[in-house]
Amino acid sequence: MAALLNIHEWSIILVNTLIAVGIIPTTYALARRLRVGVNAALAAAFIVAIDLTSVRLSGVLLAEPLANLLLALGFVTTAALRDADGRRRVAVLGIAASVFILLSAFTRPAAFLLWIPLTVWVFMSRSDLRLVAALALALPAGLGIFGWSHHNLVYFGNNTFSTIGTFNLLYYRAAAVHHVAHGRTGMALTYTELARRVEERMGNDVADVGPNRRYNHRGPNAKQAAAMRSVAQDLFREYPLEYVLTIPVGLYRALIKASNIPWVVAVCWNLIFLLAVGAGAWRLVRERKWSLLAFLCLPCLYFIVGTVLVQTSGIDTRARVMVTPLMALLAVLAYRRLLPSSADMR
């Protein structure tokens, strides 16, 4: 595409970097919207700026920089939606928040159901115009998700928003269960066995099935997706203990492991970060800041639980990078000298 449009490679890299850096001032804006002081807001933005996974992903041409920025903008507008006055302003902010979240999901599908808990949060946290705010947030996102799912049904025969979800469920989540259940045999054998089972379910010849056959299962049609789900569910029922044992592995990968970064550095940074996040969340519990706690924690739980359910292997802290701004705000809350009082925060 770059060659076709006669665009220099450095221009693409520059734009990608600017998009990635954009999440830093957006984190500051989110903190200020939540009535965090200037110094604490700057601290939260600084944490996002030096977060190891965020820095690593900002230098590669993947979907994360744009998806993360769009979602962060969605968080800012959702926070503004809660405090907005007047029916028109509420409707505009709700639609804006919904569009940002939807565009983020189109960029990287991980956030495609996040509008549901955020809609509940907006409805519960407002004292008036609750229905207007909730509908303004829910309808554009819901229609967008439904429309794209219908598009996949028409063109691919698969009524789903993300055709890669079933692939991840089988070849990452179920593969981890199979790998542990069979004495940690080579992953090539695991991939071959899973691909063979899928082909058998579809009534195909399995004589030449190898580990690379799994790549033929990306973007599956309805028949293939059903076979993949069936194989995965059979494995979960067959090995319930191994299913549970792989959950800590998924949590480790999603919250601590950082690819292409020295292991000791990644573990130290992420453990300190998580301890601060936990301390910040506990502070909100003690001070009964339930609305703020829900706003900061619900998206984090959404991504963590989603990872554990669908992909406990083949992932790292990329799984939580989309909510790093929220985690940074929780970490700042833990430092009382920087933010001695949360009385004004909402």
pLDDT digits (tens, 9 = 90+) for 244-283: 999 999 999 999 998 888 999 999 999 999 999 999 999 9
Give residue 14's pLDDT: 81
| Average predicted confidence (pLDDT) for the chain | 89
Q: With 90 as the cut, is the pLDDT of residue 12 above it?
A: no
Work out how many domains the chain is built from and give that number: 1
**Inside any domain, residue 189:** yes
**How far is residue 322's CA from residue 75's CA, in Å, rounded to a whole number?**
11
| Percent of the chain topping pLDDT 70 | 94
Reference 331, options 287, 278, 267; nearest CA is 278
**Inside any domain, residue 188:** yes
Q: Where are the alpha helices (DSSP H) in the chain?
A: 9-21, 23-33, 38-50, 52-58, 64-83, 87-107, 115-125, 130-156, 165-168, 175-181, 187-201, 222-238, 240-245, 247-255, 263-286, 290-310, 324-333
Query: Rounded to 5 degrees, what angle do the CA atoms 229, 231, 232 make?
Result: 65
Range of the domain at 217: 165-247
**Inside any domain, residue 9:** no
Average pLDDT over residues 86-92: 94
Q: With 60 as the cut, is the pLDDT of residue 4 above it?
A: no
Give residue 98's pLDDT: 97
Give residue 204's pLDDT: 87
Average pLDDT over residues 142-165: 89
How confident is the model over 289-309, as pLDDT tens digits? 999 999 999 999 999 999 889
**Inside any domain, residue 132:** no
* Confidence band for 3, pLDDT divided at 50, 70 and 90: low
| Percent of the chain topping pLDDT 90 | 63
Radius of gyration in angstroms for the set of CA atoms belonging to the chain, rounded to a whole number = 22
**How far is residue 311's CA from residue 165's CA, in Å, rounded to a whole number?**
9
* Confidence band for 111, pLDDT divided at 50, 70 and 90: very high
**Inside any domain, residue 275:** no
* Confidence band for 146, pLDDT divided at 50, 70 and 90: very high
How confident is the model over 209-247, as pLDDT tens digits? 888 888 888 877 888 889 999 999 999 999 999 999 999
**Inside any domain, residue 109:** no
Give residue 231's pLDDT: 95
**Inside any domain, residue 206:** yes
**Inside any domain, residue 82:** no
Give residue 99's pLDDT: 97
